[in-house]
Amino acid sequence: MQRLVTLSEVEGLITKNTMFITLEDLNKSIYDEQLNAIVRNEPTIIDERINLAITEVDTYLNQRYNTTEIWNKQGADRHELIKNAVIDIALYHIHSLLTESPIIRRERYDNAIQLLKDIRKGDSNLTGVPLIEAEKNTDILYGGINTRY
């Protein structure tokens, strides 16, 4: 019989980049037994899928928001919508290891991606998340000939 990987063993493998999401966060959406069965007690798969989800979310947010600050947050300091989007996307990628994944995982993934698209387009805004600062000392030219140079 295979031994189940413990939470502390997996937490030890999670890289600094994935400290934004912990196994405790994942366990609010999936039981340990289910997670271990899917990844076949290979905790590095969990770490890889969390990193993949963070990268995917980052591609939607990095044009408007300071994502470095977003990913450095931990615990209660994290933005709930971003945290939940990363969890849903990570669990979708984890479940993609299965021949047949639950429909709810695909629906939650699609909802997370739609939210991220809306945020990127500006149809939705994240309150309390730092925006990218505009570059200072940028010349803006309007038609005609620039005689300054």
Q: Tens of pLDDT along 12-48?
A: 444 444 589 988 999 999 998 999 999 998 889 999 9
Whether 22 is in a domain gets the answer: yes
- pLDDT at residue number 140: 56
- pLDDT at residue number 13: 43
Domains in the chain, number? 1
- pLDDT at residue number 1: 43
Whether 108 is in a domain gets the answer: yes
Fill in the DSSP letter of residue 114.
Answer: H
User: 94 is in which domain, residue-wise?
Assistant: 7-121
d(CA 120, CA 30): 28
Share of the chain above pLDDT 90, in %: 68
- pLDDT at residue number 110: 98
Whether 129 is in a domain gets the answer: no
List phi, psi (to 5°) of 137. 60, 40
Whether 18 is in a domain gets the answer: yes
H-state helical runs in 40-79: 43-61, 67-72
Whether 25 is in a domain gets the answer: yes
Tens of pLDDT, residues 12-22: 444 444 589 98
**pLDDT at 82 exceeding the cut of 90:** yes
Contact 94, 52 (CB under 8 A): no
Whether 137 is in a domain gets the answer: no
**What are the DSSP E strand ranges found in 2-141?**
none
- pLDDT at residue number 19: 80
Whether 11 is in a domain gets the answer: yes
Whether 1 is in a domain gets the answer: no
- pLDDT at residue number 15: 47
